[in-house]
Structure 1
Amino acid sequence: MKKGTLFLLLFTFLYQTAWVQNKYVWKEGKSGNYTYKYVEGDPLNVRIYTLSNGLTVMLSPNKKEPRITYRMAVRAGSNTDPKDHTGLAHYLEHMLFKGTDKFGSLDWAKEKPLLDSIDALYELYNHTTDSAKRKAIYKQIDEVSGRAAKYAIANEYDKMMKAMGSQGTNAHTWVEETVYDEDIPSNAVDRLLAVQAERFRNPILRIFHTELEAVYEEKNRTLDNDSWKVSEAVHAGLFPTHNYGQQTTIGTIEHLKNPSLKAIREYYQQYYVPNNMAVIMAGDFDPDELIKKIDKAFSYMRPKPVKEYNPGPEQPIKGPVIKEVFGPSAENLTIAFRTGPYGTREDLLIKAIDRILANGKAGLLDLNLNKQQKVLGAGCGIRQYKDYGVFTFYASPKQGQTLDEVKALLLAQIDSIKQGKFDDKLLDAIIANYKLSELEAQDYNVYRTSLMVDNFIKTKGSGWNIRVTELDEMKRITKKEIVDYANQFFRDDNYVVIYKRKGEDKSIVKVEKPPITPVETNPDKQSDFLKQINSMPLSSITPRWLDFNVDLQKGQIDDMELLYVPNKQNSLFDLYFRYEMGSWNNKKLPIALSYLQYLGTDKYSAEEITKEFYQLASNFSVRSGTEDSYIQLSGLNENFEKSLQLLEHLIRNCKPNEQALAELKNRLQKSRANAKTNKSSILQGLNNYALYGPSNPFNYTLSDEELNNLTAEELVQIIHSLPSFKPQVMYYGPMSTADLTAHIRKAHPKPASWATVPPKAKFTRAEQTENKVFLAYYDMVQAEMTWVRNLAPYDFNKEAVVDLFNNYFGYGMGSLVFRTIRESKALAYSTYARVTTPSKKEDPYYIVAYVGSQADKLPEAVNAMNELLNQLPENEKSFEDGRVSALKDIETERIQKTDILFSYLATKRKGLNDDPRKAKYEKLKKLKFEDIKSFHNNYLANKPYSFAIIGSEKNMRPEELSKYGTVKVVSLEELFGY
């Protein structure tokens, strides 16, 4: 036996022995006919049931708001894809939204023979190699699919979920999991379970070829995503035999081009069985009642032996393994190590090392690289799977720095761990901050369900005690154990290095566009099953409005306005000093506030200040927006006074540091250059250019010359001047207003007179009087395009109409835009249209519509979006579902904690005094389809637009785009302002 293997077995033995002695032990409870397991002392009160058919149920009650987060987790992902059908688990996930023989169909008896014919044609297509014959078969598939679609009801699943008030309908597939998501009002449990039970009973693979085309588009998006390509390279390098590295989730192009519906069904029947699935829920429910309903809903499921993916062990890496990835985005470097299985001592030690290296404040990467500005930015992270984990270090170079220099700096931090060169107090601080983050997250159902899903996928819930006891187990780790393990784990040859270089990726093979005839989606039709679901009774949930005279206390600290919300739940606090000035008042302000983190005082170095805050389990940030700025402090209330005094000391006494400024300028120059290689940033700049013109908020920044001329003294003076401006004090926490006032007066005293806020830059929005095209070039497979137009001035009375219009027209899977452009015409993977409500009364409403598609599909996508913008099809049922959904969103929304403070600010910015949701709620009740049609006709239909387009210069030719409007190719310098 190898020495390393013996070492890890010893750690595992010691770890398992520790569990026996731990205070968190498994218990068994019983209610009615149901027994469940739970872990004593679990703060989330998770109950784990195993039903008679093997279905796992994990429930975590949480009464914070009248909503429930639901997940159906399946232990199947790209790991378990057949070797000759990679990507299968992923496009099966897509098909689970298409319905069954009971919903999604107008006439199942007539639809079924056509779907059987499509099945046979795909099998023939799959086994045919002759190009001409394949095209002929695909033409038949397209023709028969068109006939079958006449009996299909697209997105009926989404309609049912929307009608019950669900939010966030979605799903994802990854290496060893497929998970289906919903978030419902707590009164809709019966409807939810009825739909979910039917959904998994007999899924029908209808409207397949258009959905497969959406998956093609998703594949093309990954080809344009350099981060995705780096991730694939990391996995391939670390796992030369395991499917973690050998099969990608989206699959190969060859397999995507040759789908088999027969293989999809076989996969479904093999893995979508109750003993391989879990119903996971967190929220406002009684678990004793809920388990009965879940059991009844899913009792039809029958267990079946599941062949687990159980590969042989990976051999030790003998490297380092070096790989290069090319693409148009900025260069960076990744170093990755393969770690051990979930739930072992090794897993816990790696998590501790991860926090020692990077915790956002006092880790080695934080202090030695980021704080000292030795790289543009660095970090590390863990992606833990069942069989192994991936521990990555990543960094981006600053100006003039090579990737090999970055690599040396990252490896040096690993050496520091191995040599024990980290503060002995750091482990205690990690525990305190871990506890703080746990307290903050436990209120949220999404957090609870994500933990339960993760645990089920890796242990079927049997390892929940590992999760519950993690904090206590981490407390037992010693510095010596960390150092010993690091020397065993981090070697000179057992890692993968990915050099992400800027340049053309010559390996890209685009998924070609197949000929597809738009299919019927029957949006105005309903199945009997949908009618049955929507007729199920719902108990009422009374909306809860904010009363800004009760939920929020207003006062004065001297002549500073105080907004106060008491925290009666725990010992955490949030304090804000808000200043009504931002980058539009002073372009240097954001840079000055960013500079602060690199400065020390006459009493502390910058590193010592960071360590002090981390030891206090406190967080602070000083940030500037466009029109306001914040000094924020949060943490444990017991450390409030020390934390505030330290923060005030830093702001008032920080000292200029020329070297820090030189490094900051270098990094800002590199960040600015990198932004020009980021297609999302470029498209954001184009949208601003289209909405405002050449002078706009996006490019309102320092020129290169202005940046180079900045001095340390002037930036420090800006920081020192902050306390001279009158702030608005905002507090959420357990302290009384009297105690808070005393602390603020002592630490943040009022000056003799308040400074005058500099005047604010103003931007004039462009009036769209004719169609214009703003084009920017980017080396990419797809093309992305937006339609933008400034609309009416802000009027609160339009908000309800706008919300309902968005719901109906272009937001979500059931929207008109999604249904038409993706479902019917298969022109895009991502498409939407949304009218944005301004955040303040001085601004107008505006619309942004979007399509991301293959370049050769863009003309068709443009025509499809234009048709919808000019002519609004009427579907009274979809409209009513959207109206009900909007009402339910308001009924179940509970604004709490710091959100009360920011809701008050948002209300005041719009010139309102009371919670605006109340009036909006009453207005929503009365709206008719004619109201959104009138809005569409008055502001969108047959109006000129500005088009923002980003694509490859090889595909986007100005002369061809001129049919949409006058074309202007916008340079990156014009877009970014430098």
Structure 2
Amino acid sequence: MMIRKKFLMLFAVGILFTAQAQDYQWKEAKSGGYTYKYVTNDPTQARFYTLQNGLTVILSPTKKDPRIQAYIATKAGSKTDPATNTGLAHYLEHMLFKGTDKYGSLDWAKEKAELDKIDALYEQYNTTKDEVKRKAIYKKIDSVSGVAAKYAIANEYDKMMTAMGAQGTNAWTNFEETVYTDDVPSSSLDRYLAVQAERFRNPVLRIFHTELEAVYEEKNRTLDTDSRKVFETLFATLFKNHNYGKQTTIGTVEHLKNPSLVEIRKYFNNYYVPNNMGVILSGDFNPDDAIAKIDRAFSYMKNKPVPKYTFQPEQAMTAPIIKEIVGPDAENLTIGYRLPGNKDKDVLLADLVGSILTNGKAGLLDLNLVKKQKLLRASAFTYTLQDHGILYLSAAPTTGQTLEEVQTLVLSEIENLKKGNFDADLIPSIVNNIKKEKIQSLERYGDRASMLQSAFNAELDWKDQVAYVDDISKIKKEDVVAFANKYFGNNYVAILKKKGENKNPQKIEKPSITPVETNPDKQSAFVKMVNEMPSTPSEPVFLDFNKDIQKSKLGKAEVLYVPNTENQLFRLRYRYKVGTLNDPKQSLASQYLQFLGTDKKSSEEIFKEFYKIASSFNVSTGEEYTMVTIEGLQENFDKAVKLYEDLVMNAKPDETALAALKARIAKSRKDAKANKGAILQGLTSYAMYGPKNKFNNTLSDAEINAVTAQELVDRMKNLNNYEQTVIYYGPEPIKNLTAKLGTMHKVPATFASAGPLKTFKQLPQTKTQVLFTDYDMVQAETRWIRNTDTYDAAKTPMVMVFNNYFGGGMGSVVFQTIRESKALAYSTYGYYVQPSKKDDQYYMMSYVGSQADKFGDAVGAMNELLTTMPQLPVNLDLAKNSVKKDIQTERVVQDDIIFRYLAAQQLGLKDDIRKQLYTNVDRITMNDLQKFHATNISGKPYTYALVASEKNLKMDDLKKIGEVKKITLEELFGY
């Protein structure tokens, strides 16, 4: 239920590669007793219905997977929050998971009496200024909430969705939308609609003060995030008269401290009305049946006028505005130019300008700054909302570079744009790449639904979206130049994010909360009714590696092949048996290749050629393998492969490029030490393997500085001599493929060895200890790590069920206890992690991210669960059912089949493990689960990986947990 930043970008909608323009018109049709609209030549085949009460329903059927991506979308977000109650739309999003008078309650009459008292107490609390009196009122709120919770059942929504096999159950709130998302089996459509219709009928704001505390935690996490501060400062500076800038989605600290349940209900009544909402489905269903069911389910909703948001125009900016933000993260620059809203005639040009500046391959920033390594990184995109848009540029400095120098470099590319200093054929190249991306997106029902939902909430005409490629193809270079000169002058905001101590840290203080009852073993009559609705599950489809993968040979190399029968896209991979565990310099060589040219072509020319044919290549090195990926249109297969092969065989050493790469690596390594996520990852690896571990298995600064251009080029030229597997997904028959590759990709008669792999052994936890690294932050990030036994395929059903039951999802005992009952964290989980290789060990990893002043309580709560696992038979049935439902509806397709096969090989498996899992999961009992917990988890020593501010935690408190070891950044990162 996090805020999701939806950067709405307009793209083409699956138009095939063709020079012939299509005709796009709105048409009307009738089927199944309902009238709908559709757009001609729309590859999503979407039907647009408007029900009698004004509810919009958008249906895009596709039979590929037996699942449906569903969105319930409301055109209301933080833009329409009352100025006196910011964050309200986001509050409401959270509360719409709490149930109604029919579910989420054991005794509604008794619960309502207590909830009415809480309503009145909050209104009294909000109007009271005296802190002593406020604490007394809050104590009453806490007390009455405890009584009300005795009649409540937490997380019944999540449990219902889990029971029907839903995935990705969540929601997000943004400036102009609140969207509720579920991915459900096709067989569960009736159940899904019954739950959704009830969900919006009469939402009850129960278990409110603990959920409010979860929102506090979410706010504190944003206060710890420099990138969030940059984002909010940019919008606040650009939009003085509009709620894009005047208020944030999550709200102010003051408003979070003073919520009004009355205002929340008022907001719901104003905006959650059918003529302001949409139901969007894409997947395996009959649209005639689906629309009738949706109509019956939501017909109770009543149409009513929706308050319209109004705003004053922004004052024109006549000079740059520079802002500084200081925080612990690495330095970076953000620049924003104000653009018109998404219905303006210039919006097509705005999108195209974003791609001309950066497209990952051949944009101005890509070629002139990133490829030439003039800075660490740079990107640009257009963020288009209904009332205004932004050209959003971001960049980071390389070693020895100031943010002011970065700003000059970025703005110089804006000047190049204004002067037309870019290739004329860049625009058609961008169009071709957009077409390819949309062909890819049409392969997935989830992407179809996402595009339709985004257009609905943005109030965009779907006809324009379908015609997008044709329309953008008509834009000329002179149009882009005119646009750039119109909008990009000295009218920008620049945010200089500098590294340093935050002198004015904010946080929401921890209130005194008594843990509430969640009644996890109880069930309402409505839930029973939903669970008993008839449903015919899909039959699972298991992989047969001998039949689903065609195998051949290219010289000594094995070829693994899966045909693409849907479209003309291909993906070709060379998987070489060399990685960082036997050659730590190979990763550096793989990075270096992208900056090299040949004796005939520069690096920039090579990337431009790839982009023109809507193809790309990538080389990445992992622990054991280096993977080369070449992808694009099959008609350009020969060109793309030859481009890559020519580059590798004829790459020229470039000392200037290497010097710049070394400088960028040095800056990246420095920046990693300022990233709390990277620090926690390093501590986790330290906990698993000890001081010398996989995370810090890296070249020293001296070793990097000593590397020469020639030895890196030699590594890339030698790459093809190692043992390799050729992986292909595409439309070319396997015989034709091997014949083509035989002339372009020369496999040696004998393979060279890259040498033995460096090994890291997981260490047993013999005593409880705390690994601590200091970081300037409000929160405390804590992981529990314990290594256990080596891999055993027979344990897979138990591991999967345990994870679902114990710590995976909103219905798990970890989430219900630590977040729902005790309000100690926004994010928490606990997993028994399966290794990827048969000789490696499982490990238990739990996590709590809490305010520092809740650290002791959060640790205690997790330790209670690690020691004694609650026994909830209903939850066990849900966990087992969830595993089975996922398998019933999962369809492993395309080259994922090959990667499942390779992963099985790593574990010593010959068959699809899901068959064993599906057969055995029902046999697991509560006694089995309890024994698993007792054997592997309970009463065992753990290593704590803790990232927090030493100013906010007492070392004496940490010592009570176990032996404390402060780990320096140098120890963690190995440099």
Same-fold call, TM > 0.5?
Answer: yes
- Match of 1:18? none
Following the alignment from structure 2 to structure 1, what is the Cα–Cα distance between the partners of residues 188 and 367? 49
Matches within 5 A, 1:488-507: 488-492=486-490, 494-507=491-504
Q: Report the Cα distance in structure 1 between the residues aligned to 2:341 and 2:132, rounded to whole angstroms.
A: 49
Q: Distance in 1 between matches of 2:897 and 2:308?
A: 48
The answer to whether the 8 A contact 1:573-1:733 is kept is yes
2-side partners of 1:931 and 1:324: how far apart? 57
1:422 aligns with: 422
C-alpha distance in structure 2 between counterparts of 1:586 and 1:957, whole Å:
43
Q: What amino acid is aligned across from residue 432 of structure 1 in structure 2? A: N
Alignment of 1:440-519 (within 5 A): 440-459=440-459, 463-492=461-490, 494-519=491-516
Deviation at 1:726, TM superposition (A): 2.4
Q: Show structure 1 runs of 5+ residues with no match.
A: 1-20
For residue 46 of structure 1, what is the aligned residue in structure 2? 46
Amino acid of the residue matched to residue 101 of structure 2?
A: D
User: Aligned partner of 1:581: which letter?
Assistant: V
What is the identity, as a one-letter code, of the residue corresponding to 2:721?
S
| One-letter identity of the residue aligned with 1:779 | D
Shift of residue 410, structure 1, vs aligned partner = 0.5
Q: Distance in 2 between matches of 1:813 and 1:586?
A: 42
Counterpart in the other structure of 1:140: 140
1:60 alignment partner, SS class:
strand
Task: Please tell me whether the aligned partners of residues 97 and 157 of structure 1 are also in contact (alpha carbons under 8 angstroms).
Answer: yes
SS of the counterpart of 1:515?
Answer: coil
What per-residue deviation string (whole Å, max 9, x for no partner) do you get for residues 112-150 of structure 1? 110000000000000000111000000000000000000
Quote how far apart the aligned CAs of 1:413 are: 0.5
Of residues 872, 889, 893, the one that matches 2:886 is 889
TM-aligned CA deviation for residue 75 of structure 1: 0.7
The one-letter code of the counterpart of 2:754 is V
Secondary structure of residue in 2 paired with 1:950:
strand
Q: Does 1:824 align with 2:821?
A: yes
The residue identity in structure 2 corresponding to 1:473 is D
Indicate if the aligned counterparts of 1:65 and 1:284 stay in contact, CA closer than 8 A. Answer: yes
Q: How does 1:721-740 map to 2 (within 5 A)?
A: 721-740=718-737
Counterpart of 1:763, as a letter, is: F
Alignment correspondent of 1:17: none
What's 2:35 paired with?
A: 35
Deviation of 1:782 after TM superposition, in Å, equals: 0.6
- Aligned residues of 2:217 and 2:851 also touching (Cα < 8 A): yes
Which residue number corresponds to residue 195 of structure 1? Answer: 195
SS at structure 1 position matched to 2:727: strand
Q: How does 1:539-578 map to 2 (within 5 A)?
A: 539-578=536-575
Q: Does residue 391 of the first structure (1) align with residue 391 of the second (2)?
A: yes
Q: Which secondary structure state, in structure 2, belongs to the residue aligned with residue 644 of structure 1?
A: helix
Deviations 1:204-261 (CA, angstroms, capped at 9, x unpaired): 0000000000000000000011111110011111111100000101100000111110
Q: Which residue of 1 aligns with 2:291?
A: 291
Q: What does residue range 325-724 of structure 1 map to in structure 2 within 5 Å?
A: 325-459=325-459, 463-492=461-490, 494-724=491-721
Q: Counterpart in 2 of 1:151?
A: 151
Letter in 1 for 2:176: E
Any idea what SS the aligned residue of 2:916 has? Answer: helix
1:246 maps to what in 2? Answer: 246
Letter in 2 for 1:764: K
Offset at 1:202?
0.2
| Residue 407 (structure 1) shift | 0.5
Q: Name whichever of 512-521 and 417-426 sits farther off.
A: 417-426
Counterpart amino acid of 1:226? D
Q: Secondary structure at the residue paired with 2:594?
A: helix
Amino acid corresponding to residue 695 of structure 1 in structure 2: K
Verify the 8 A CA contact 2:555 2:749 in the aligned structure 1. no
% identical equivalent positions: 55
Deviation, 1:22, is: 7.1
CA distance in 2, matches of 1:83, 1:357: 37
1:786 corresponds in structure 2 to 783
The DSSP-based 3-state class of the residue aligned with 1:963 is helix
Q: Which residue of 1 aligns with 2:309?
A: 309
Q: Contact 2:554/2:747 (CA < 8 Å) preserved in 1?
A: no
| Structure 1 residue 507, shift from structure 2 partner | 3.5
Q: Note if contact 1:787-1:948 (Cα within 8 Å) is conserved in structure 2.
A: yes
Larger displacement relative to structure 2 (443-452 or 380-389): 443-452
- Residues 726-746 of structure 1, C-alpha deviation per residue, up to 9 Å, x if partnerless? 210110111111211112111
Q: Tell me the C-alpha RMSD between the 2 structures.
A: 1.0
Deviation at 1:318? 2.7
User: Structure 1 residues 197-206 or 479-488, which shifts more?
Assistant: 479-488
Q: Deviations over 1:828-876 (max 9, x none)?
A: 0000011111111011111110000010101000110000001011110
Secondary structure in structure 2 of the residue aligned to 1:699: coil
2:834 is the alignment partner of 1:837: yes
Q: TM-score, normalising length from structure 1?
A: 0.97
Give the match's secondary structure for 2:767. Answer: coil
Partners of 1:192 and 1:112 in 2: how far apart?
26
Matched residues, number? 955
Matches of 1:274 and 1:435, distance apart in 2: 34
Contact 2:556 2:749 in 1 (8 A): no
Aligned to 1:757: 754
**Does the Cα contact within 8 Å between 2:556 and 2:750 map onto a contact in 1?**
no
What's the secondary structure of 1:847's corresponding residue? strand
Question: 1:386·1:457 contact (CA, 8 Å) conserved in 2?
Answer: no
Gaps of 5+ in 2: 1-20
Structure 2 SS opposite 1:598: coil
- Separation in 2 of the partners of 1:285 and 1:227? 41
Runs of 4+ in structure 1 deviating by more than 4 angstroms, as ranges, are none
Which residue matches 1:209?
A: 209
> Which amino acid letter does the alignment assign opposite residue 139 of structure 2?
K
Range with greater deviation from structure 2 (189-198 or 379-388): 379-388
Letter in 2 for 1:822: R
CA contact (8 A) 2:22 2:41 kept: no
Greater displacement, 685-694 / 506-515: 506-515
- The code of the aligned residue for 2:304 comes to K
The residue that corresponds to 2:806 in the other structure is 809
Alignment of 1:840-879 (within 5 A): 840-879=837-876
Q: What whole-Å deviation, never above 9, does each CA across 1:296-336 have from its counterpart, x for those lacking one? A: 00000001100111212222223212111111000100110
Deviation, structure 1 residue 445: 2.3
* Structure 1 Cα separation of the partners of residues 519 and 257 of structure 2: 28
The one-letter code sitting in structure 1 at the alignment partner of 2:942 is Y
Is this contact kept in 1: 2:597–2:606, CA < 8 A? yes
Amino acid in the other structure paired with 2:753: T
Instruction: Check conservation: 1:62, 1:443, Cα contact below 8 A.
Output: no
Q: Bigger CA drift: 340-349 or 161-170?
A: 340-349
- Counterpart of 2:873, as a letter, is E
Partner deviation per Cα, 1:335-377 (whole Å, 9 max, x = no partner)? 1011111133311101111111111101111100000000000
Q: Normalization by structure 2: what TM-score?
A: 0.97
Match of 2:929 in 1: 932
The letter for the 1-side match of 2:484 is A
1:232 aligns with 2:229: no
Residue 465 of structure 2 aligns to which amino acid in structure 1?
A: R
How far does residue 750 in structure 1 lie from its aligned partner after superposition? 2.4
Deviations 1:619-648 (A, max 9, x none): 110110111111110100001011111100
Distance 1:511 1:533 in 2: 39
Deviation track 1:744-788 (CA, whole Å, cap 9, x = no partner) reads 111111234321222110001111011011000000011110000
Looking at structure 2, the residues matched to 696 and 423 of structure 1 have their Cα atoms a distance apart, in angstroms, of 47
Deviation at 1:186, TM superposition (A): 0.4
CA distance in 2, matches of 1:734, 1:155: 46
What letter is aligned with 2:798? V
Q: Distance in 2 between matches of 1:540 and 1:454?
A: 30
In the alignment, the residues of structure 2 paired with residue 46 and residue 944 of structure 1 have an alpha-carbon distance, to the nearest angstrom, of 56
